[in-house]
Amino acid sequence: MASYATWLESSIDGTRLELDRLQSMHAGRPLLVRYDLERARREVRREVLAGRERDLWRYGELLPVQRRENIVSLGEQATPLLACPRLGAQLGLEHLTIKDESHLPTGSFKSRGMALAVSRAKELGVTRLALPTAGNAGGAAAAYAARAGLECYVFMPKDTPLVNRLEAGLHGAKAFLVDGLIDDCGKVVREGAEAMGWFDLSTLKEPYRLEGKKTMGLELCEQLDWTLPDVILYPTGGGTGLVGMWKAFDELARLGWLEGEWADGRRPRLFACQSAGCAPIVRAFDAGERHALRFENAATVASGLRVPAAVGDFLILDAVRASGGQARAVAEERLLPWMFRASSAEGLGICPETAACFAVLEDLVNEGVVSPESRVVVWNTGAAQKYVEALEAPLPELPALGDIDWAAL
Amino acid sequence: MASYATWLESSIDGTRLELDRLQSMHAGRPLLVRYDLERARREVRREVLAGRERDLWRYGELLPVQRRENIVSLGEQATPLLACPRLGAQLGLEHLTIKDESHLPTGSFKSRGMALAVSRAKELGVTRLALPTAGNAGGAAAAYAARAGLECYVFMPKDTPLVNRLEAGLHGAKAFLVDGLIDDCGKVVREGAEAMGWFDLSTLKEPYRLEGKKTMGLELCEQLDWTLPDVILYPTGGGTGLVGMWKAFDELARLGWLEGEWADGRRPRLFACQSAGCAPIVRAFDAGERHALRFENAATVASGLRVPAAVGDFLILDAVRASGGQARAVAEERLLPWMFRASSAEGLGICPETAACFAVLEDLVNEGVVSPESRVVVWNTGAAQKYVEALEAPLPELPALGDIDWAAL
């Protein structure tokens, strides 16, 4: 299972950079890993996957790690794609499924990106990592750094959810609270780079977290027997997942692994979902812009959506538009009710970021943008259990055994 | 994939009970599901597993669900078995692996038991469930009940960890706090049974949670190519997992699926690990007793170990003794340091219950009870992230960007 990665390509002007050395961005914009897909198309058949472990490393030909001994893994198994007929019926949909990323290490989709980024950092000789985080990325980075035996510095807003504040320290990272938002934390990482000699793991500021997120698209397609859904809803903070999935679909098409109409160029409509409390991508989408302005005074309970400026904004907006989808926001007040409604309808633990997707989906069905017979996949990016602040509601205390009024329970 | 289950058998006197109706206990002790293993040995080869999904339902012949359409699933995929050489070296062990159950739905091993118990309850016509819980079981029961469309009542001690208190409500269960321990909560479930018409899901008070936990043993054995490790350390509250694994090894032997010395009757040594703050099984083991007295004033940060009286005590003690293992306790003060030490050494999120196992393992290696070349598996029963009280430690706040002393970070 050799990697077919060939070089890094600038997402803004196509400049090629070497794969065998540590790279960050080019002209202030992300680098994309390119593969020799023509050769892979001749040499690799999708049937080879049948004999491999059901984890993200099964797609090794389409991943950048050069030698398997450099893989840093905490067991990134394929996440379940679960049919949700009860919730679907409530929304007026016949084919609603949820891709549940809470099963991944540290309970979120951030593990996919960190598994690749830390593996490549180790492969290229890095010994100290640093990153800003709005939520789950810090815990994932700390965990993979620990697994790799690397030092890790994590910077997060003071009001980051409690579990995210604690998990970085649990895994031995040096974690700090910053009076600001994720982009303020990003400034700390940039400013300290020279003095501290750390490698900046910020999403899309190095090329490999995107490749990890790309496996969401590869996995989804394989689980659907090499077809794709009609519609994908994705909670969009930094947006790396949407960009990664779009890249996956393109690479699968070039490999000749897609079936039927999907091989002929059809793609799922992508819906980038945000809270009105932080909706820079939606604002740019509505204005017809390719780049998004910083969203001032960003505030939402969905910490992963609290990304006021995304370095990959144009990549998100390009993909959403090319897919025929939309960027949509919903009122902040709709998130927690949807978190509880979706979690109690099907038993999955729906995070507040994904709750935004369900509120968007409700609107899209009501407006007729998504039809009842559409095959819809909603991405649950992390475990609801990690959001104790969102969940907090006191439970009733039971009286002593003899005093219980059973009829009133 | 038809079930080979035949009847239920009393664990205390061998009485046989019908499988096709709702059963709880016999003579106040657990019922065990029996299978026609002679017929299964003739008809089912382990090679059939290769073509199946990598979830616990792949062992359908050895599970009690009669019709696949009754399966209630949230995606119970095989959990990773991860080599941990760095932590192993710290402990003086050459072959340390961790079976990481945090990847399961709701982030803990409780999902295995609940998936089976709720599936069978639904299959047998139950509409309302109730259970006591010391920690993760309540969230798992609520999630599976929601998935099945059943009502669920959860009773837990007032000082149950925050995340466990909240997750039951997230999934729509009716959850209550009780002034007492898990056995006091169990009393509430028993007392209310008639008035409320609920089915008691308490572990080992119905026969199917054990069958779910049994899949830990089946999965481990398959992951080790039909061999077993020399030593297993397991955090022991209700102990259903140890009893389930022991049952799994026995059934695998009868099926003829085990290799080499394991087929000839060799078994892993089982170590039941507890905190000195609640160690009823250890006390009974040391006293040579088959039943354990209630452990008064039970108190431990490892909420899952806070089970002062286990209905399956004799099943745990029988298995531990038959295996040549031991029941061991460690001082409460050693749990949190080991939780952090293990989590930072390898990047896995080690729960406080499993931290007790590492403290026990340290002792066993120092005493020469476990030798350096032993193949050791430690069971990580849940996600560390669910224990916010155990994790809580304030993070340092970073000064404004211009005021950072990088050398002091």
pLDDT tops 90 at residue B1: no
What's residue B15's pLDDT? 97
pLDDT at B276 over 90: yes
Select from B54, B100, B103 the residue whose CB has the most chain A CBs within 10 Å, as the one to mutate to test that interface.
Answer: B103
Residues of B within 8 A of A147 (CB-CB) are 346-348
B/e letters for B153-167, b = 16+ CB within 10 Å, e = fewer, are bbbbbeebbbbbbbb
Percent of chain A whose predicted confidence (pLDDT) is above 70: 100
pLDDT at A76: 98
- How close B335 gets to chain A, by Cα (Å)? 13
**Cα–Cα distances in angstroms (integers) from residue B51 to residues A1, B46, B85, in the given order:** 21, 11, 32
Interface with chain A: mutation pick from B156, B174, B344, highest number of A CBs within 10 Å = B344
B402 vs A361: which has the higher pLDDT: A361
User: If we measure between CA atoms, which residue out of B41, B43, B36 comes closest to residue B19?
Assistant: B36
Q: Give the pLDDT score at B176.
A: 96
CA distance A146 to A140: 10
Return d(Cα B152, Cα B310) in angstroms, integer. 22
Residue A383 makes CB contacts below 8 A (sequence gap 6+) with A102, A107, A108, A349, A351, B107, B383, B385
Name the packing angle between helices B240-255 and B313-323 (round to 10°).
Answer: 50
Partners of residue A192 in chain B, C-beta under 8 Å: 404, 406, 409
Would the CB atoms of B103 and A100 count as touching at under 8 Å? no
Residues of chain A found within 8 Å of residue B178, distances taken between Cβ atoms:
397-398
Which element (helix H / strand E) includes B154?
Answer: strand B151-157
DSSP, collapsed to helix, strand or coil, labels residue B56 as helix
pLDDT of residue B84: 98
Nearest CA in chain B to A391: B166
- Report the interhelical angle of A335-346 vs B136-148 (nearest 10°): 80
Mean pLDDT for chain A? Answer: 96
pLDDT in tens, A2-17: 999 999 999 999 999 9
Residues of A in contact with B77 (CB under 8 A): 54, 77-78, 80, 103
Beta-carbon contacts of A364 under 8 Å, excluding residues fewer than 6 positions away, are: A271, A328, A370
A20 to chain B nearest CA, in Å? 27
Query: For residue B409, which residues of chain A lie inside 8 Å, CB to CB?
Result: 153, 174, 176, 192, 196
Q: In chain A, which stretches have pLDDT less than 50?
A: none
**Rounded Cα distance, B409 and B407, in Å:** 6
The interface pTM score, or ipTM, of the predicted complex is 0.96
C-alpha radius of gyration, chain A, whole number: 21
Tell me how far apart the terminal alpha carbons of chain B are, to the nearest angstrom.
58
Give percent of chain B with pLDDT exceeding 90: 96
Mean pLDDT of the B262-274 span: 97
Q: Are the Cβ atoms of A172 and B344 closer than 8 angstroms?
A: yes
- Partners of residue B86 in chain A, C-beta under 8 Å: 149
DSSP string, B376-387: EEEEE-BBGGG-
> What is the pLDDT at residue A147?
98
Domain A81-107+208-389 listed as CATH 3.40.50.1100: yes
Q: What are the CA-CA distances from residue B219 to residues A216, B100, B140 (Å)?
A: 25, 12, 20
Question: Closest Cα of chain B to A112: distance in Å?
Answer: 14
Per-residue model confidence (pLDDT) at position A225:
98
* Residues in CB range of B162: below 8 A, 6 or more apart: A388, A392, B388, B389
Which of A263, A268, A259, A300 lies closest to A282 in space, CA to CA? A300
Taking the C-alpha atoms of residue B59 and residue B110, their distance in angstroms, rounded to an integer, is: 18
Interface test with A, best of B401, B403, B404, B406 (most A CBs within 10 A): B401
Query: Which of B74, B165, B395 faces A82 most closely, judged by CB atoms?
Result: B74
Can you give the pLDDT at residue A394?
Answer: 81
Predicted local confidence at residue B394, as pLDDT:
81
Backbone angles phi, psi at A9, to 5 degrees: -125, 135
Q: Which residue of A has its CA nearest to B83?
A: A74
Domain spans of chain A, in order of start: 81-107+208-389
CB atoms near residue A128 (< 10 Å): 15
Residues ≥6 apart with Cβ < 8 Å to B230: B268, B269, B374, B375, B376
Residue in B with minimal Cα distance to A175 = B395
Would you call B107 and A105 a contact, using CB atoms and an 8 Å cutoff?
A: no
- Sequence-distant (≥ 6) Cβ neighbours of residue B300 within 8 angstroms: B275, B277, B278, B306, B332, B335, B352
Instruction: Count other Cβ atoms within 10 Å, centred on residue B186.
Output: 23
Looking at residue B392, what is its pLDDT?
78
Average pLDDT for residues B294-321, to the nearest whole number? Answer: 96
Q: What is the pLDDT confidence band of residue B45, given thresholds at 50, 70 and 90?
A: very high
| pLDDT of the residue at B284 | 98
Contact B332, B276 (CB under 8 A): yes
| Residues A55, A59, A61, A62, CA torsion sign | negative
Q: Do the Cβ atoms of A347 and B74 come closer than 8 Å?
A: yes
Contact call for residues A303 and A164 (beta carbons, < 8 A): yes
Q: Which of B79, B167, B176 sits opposite A349 (nearest CB)?
A: B167
Chain B nearest C-alpha distance from A24 (Å): 22
Considering CB atoms only, which of B155, B345, B397 is closest to A158?
A: B397
Q: Is it the case that residue B5 has pLDDT exceeding 90?
A: yes
Could you write out the DSSP letters of every residue in A35-65?
E-HHHHHHH--GGGGGGS-SBGGGGGGGS--
d(CA B305, CA B205): 18
Does residue B9 carry a pLDDT above 90?
Answer: yes
Tell me the two tokens of residue B223.
Answer: 């992951």
pLDDT value for A393: 78
Residue B388: which of A149, A166, A396 has the nearest Cβ? A166
Task: Evaluate whether B311 touches B294 at the Cβ level (below 8 Å).
Answer: no
Alpha-carbon distance of B126 to B145, in angstroms, equals 11
By the 10 Å C-beta count (0-12 exposed, 13-18 middle, 19+ buried), A194 is classed as exposed
Q: Is A244 helix (H, G, I), strand (E, B) or coil?
A: helix
From A387, which residue of chain B is nearest by alpha-carbon distance?
A: B163
C-alpha A158/C-alpha A184 separation (Å) is 11
In angstroms, the separation between the Cα of residue A11 and the nearest Cα of chain B is: 30
Predicted confidence at residue B123, as pLDDT, reads 98
CB contact under 8 A, A175 and B395: yes
Chains A, B: CB contacts under 8 A, how many? 232
* Phi/psi-derived region of residue B27, left when phi > 0, alpha when psi is between -120 and 50, beta in every other case: left
Bridge partners (DSSP) listed for residue B83? B97
Task: Sort out which chain B residues have CB atoms less than 8 A from A100's CB and list them.
Answer: 74-75, 105
Residue A77: what pLDDT?
97
Q: Mind listing the pLDDT tens digit for each residue in B373-387?
A: 999 999 999 999 999
CB contact under 8 A, A391 and B177: no
C-alpha distance from A173 to closest chain B C-alpha (Å): 8
- Subunit contact A398:B178, Cβ cutoff 8 A: yes
Task: Return the amino acid letter for A38.
Answer: E
More confident residue, B345 or B407: B345
Alpha carbon distance B270, B262 (integer Å): 15
Residues B259-286, mean pLDDT to the nearest whole number = 98
CATH code 3.30.830.10 for B81-107+208-387: no
Tell me whether residues B391 and A170 touch, CB distance under 8 A: yes
Listed residue (A8, A56, A382) closest to A215, CA to CA: A56
Cβ-based contacts of B177 with chain A (< 8 Å): 395-398
